[in-house]
Amino acid sequence: GVVVFASSNRAGQYVWVDGVKKKRRRGKKRDRKQKTERGENDPPRLKDKSIKRDPKDIENELKRACKGINLPLIYITDSDDERVILFRGKKARLHMHNAYDDQQKAIVKSSPNGTKQLVVGKRQGLVRLSRNSKHVPLMVVGTPLVYKETKVQGILEKYLKSTAKPPPLYVADDDTVNEIRGFKRTAENRIYIYASLQLTPEEDLKPPVLVLANLNNSCNLGAIARTAFNLGITSLLMTKTSFGGLNDTAVRTSTYSILECSLAVTEDLPASIRALSKRGITTHCGESASAGAVEPIQGAGTRNWALVVGSEMFGVPEDAMKAVDKLVTIPQQGGDSFGVAHASVICLYELARGMPS
């Protein structure tokens, strides 16, 4: 018989089977296992790695699936193909770290004005990337279904015609893409882009400007950039620390809006803030009232403004704070300080109120 073993905090989590304590299976998992034993379940999408498919068969299937696509597609039949190694997730590239690092360094070295590379997923990233001619795709991998989409074909054809060095377009079946990325996805119309972020000279940034001072948390960077873009701010001035935090997590969190922004990196933040002031751009920095902020944040009524945002732990550097025009604060009724993402949202909204489009 089966006796349920109950504990104070995990009651019903374990069962005794023939004198052996085992963890209770969830109902869905048990039903799925029973269906598999009866042969009622479809085979798993990710193939058993011990069962190798013939590359020629895979290539023939891809050719049939890609019939009618007028793009120079390159067929990928093996997930370990080094041409697509840069698309691999962290867990999926553990056994090939050296090759991954070597290829990444080679691309950085050969990329014109290339400063940062990242992987972005889904067609939304490709669409946003196509709206900003500054950032360029270096390579693309996708399934046959996504290459058949009219919108995707139009964007890729534009890159093939306008770019001196067109990005290679790799195509792989759904199982191979799953193995490349290192996790299972059920959608069969997926596309991933390895892109290069290009820098804009500081003097070419158009106000309003969001200044990110040593903010390196990817989730915070993405959330703040998403809010800024939605409010009409497309110029980001960053320290090297902040620019280093712009990875694929930040891009996804921003819903890929970072790909439509102009990016600049400064090595002397106080000097860059003073340069903004000389251009007639009023610089603001959020601070608590006890630390010297003398006025609540309010609408600027113009586009000639900039907001300086610091890190969650250390805030804005003191020398940069002395260079801003206005120290502002968010009125609070109580509680601890706002998180940097929440405070930035409030300040950006207030400054953007009444701003001409």
- Assigned domain for 313 exists: yes
- Position 336 pLDDT exceeds 90: no
Residue 243 has pLDDT above 80, yes or no: yes
Query: In Å, how far are 103, 111, 130, 262, 329 from 114, measured between CA atoms?
Result: 14, 5, 17, 14, 38
Same domain, 110 and 171: yes
**Under 8 Å CB-to-CB from 273, ≥6 apart: which residues?**
211, 283, 306, 308, 320, 323, 324
- Answer whether residue 245 is part of any domain: yes
Q: pTM here?
A: 0.77
Query: Which pLDDT score, from 0 to 100, does residue 6 have?
Result: 46
Q: Write down the pLDDT at residue 31.
A: 62
- CATH number of residue 101's parent domain: 3.30.1330.30
- pLDDT one-digit tens code per residue, 142-164: 999 999 998 999 999 988 887 77
Q: Kindly state whether residue 44 falls inside one of the protein's structural domains.
A: no
The whole-chain average pLDDT of the chain stands at 81
115: pLDDT confidence band, cut at 50, 70 and 90?
Answer: low
Classify residue 166 by its DSSP letter: P
- Model pLDDT for residues 24-54, shown as the tens digit of each residue: 655 555 666 666 665 555 444 444 555 677 8
Task: Reply yes or no: is the peptide bond before residue 208 cis, omega within 30 of 0.
Answer: yes
Give the pLDDT score at 314. 84
Q: State how far the Cα of 168 lies from the Cα of 170, in Å rounded to an integer.
A: 6
**184 shares its domain with 89:** yes
pLDDT the model gives residue 44: 44
Residue 139 domain-assigned (yes or no): yes
Confidence of residue 165 (pLDDT cuts 50, 70, 90): confident
Structural domain of 304: 202-352
Residues 177 and 256 in one domain: no
Q: How many domains is the chain partitioned into structurally?
A: 3
Domain stops at, among 198, 220, 237:
198
pLDDT attached to residue 39: 56
Residue 224 contacts residue 309 (beta carbons within 8 Å): yes
Q: Decide if 45 is inside a domain.
A: no
How would you label 313-323 residue by residue, b for 16+ Cβ within 10 Å and e otherwise? Answer: eebbbeebbeb
Residue at 273: amino acid letter: I
Angle, CA 12 vertex, CA 10 and CA 18 arms, to 5°: 120
- Is residue 113 a contact partner of residue 198, using CB atoms and an 8 Å limit? yes
Sequence length of the chain is 357
Same domain? For 287 and 179 the reply is: no
- Using the predicted structure, report yes or no on whether residue 132 has a pLDDT greater than 90: no
Nearest to 89 by CA among 177, 219, 180, 186: 180
